[in-house]
Structure 1
């Protein structure tokens, strides 16, 4: 029997669950400085991309592209269009396999440096965070 998928509790501190796609749990990072999604493959015990089956790696790539579209949509909704997508599977802090998809702009305050571990975050506020998550869900429906 396959063990159940559980996202590392560390993700709860800085992101919320938006929805599930065929492979990944989709989470919105609670940092209004950047439109930022985290994809966590819903498979137990994964740490590296090589731990995925060949088929799941292909699905993950499709979901990364899909997340990029959602991140760009969030940028448009906030009147800060995304000019570059940063995609990374770091895992140095939280070892569970996950992929960050972050929208960047030259005026985002950290450009051109990476966003990883560069705080403090600027939380959306509960209403704005829920609204952004709802926008993602609606954009992905149907």
Structure 2
């Protein structure tokens, strides 16, 4: 593609960078209620999984597996939800959400449940550092 990749402004406003994998930028959703990573393939103009090349789709599958493993090691959830929606932000991005039977939205979806609660600065720094280390070790 000839267009340069840029992160959707809504994703940029709601997240903090963890780092980059071969294909995806990894972001932390700034909502302390739900430990939540977002993978964004660094490809311009991509809104659906089917917009990716076969090679990129295979790479993405591997990166999803890594992100799920990182979330499991990071917070030991009861379940990890992986989803693509794109109704609000059309740029292709995948949610990797740690879920706990005790979380405020269980067993329903996290979307639209209450108000987002940003991480306190020290907690955000800790989770970003730990997540980055887990990705580096993966």
TM-score (norm 2): 0.94
Unmatched 5+ residue regions in structure 1?
A: 76-80
1:51 corresponds in structure 2 to 51
| Structure 2 residue aligned with 1:78 | none
1:99 maps to 94
After TM superposition, give the deviation of residue 133 of structure 1 in Å: 0.8
Task: Look up the match of 1:28.
Answer: 28
Gaps of 5+ in 2: none
CA distance in 1, matches of 2:4, 2:114: 33
What is the CA–CA distance in structure 2 between the aligned matches of 1:35 and 1:8, rounded to whole Å?
21
- Alignment size in residue pairs: 137
1:16 aligned to 2:11? no
Q: Which of structure 1's runs of 4+ aligned residues deviate more than 6 A?
A: none
Match of 2:116 among 114, 117, 121: 121
- Single out whichever of 29-38 and 119-128 deviates more from structure 2: 119-128
TM-score (norm 1): 0.91
Q: Superposition RMSD on alpha carbons, in Å?
A: 1.2
Partners of 1:74 and 1:135 lie apart in 2 by: 7
SS at 1:119's partner residue? coil
How big is each residue's C-alpha offset from its partner over 1:3-37, in whole Å with a ceiling of 9 and x where there is no partner?
Answer: 21101011122111110100000000111111100
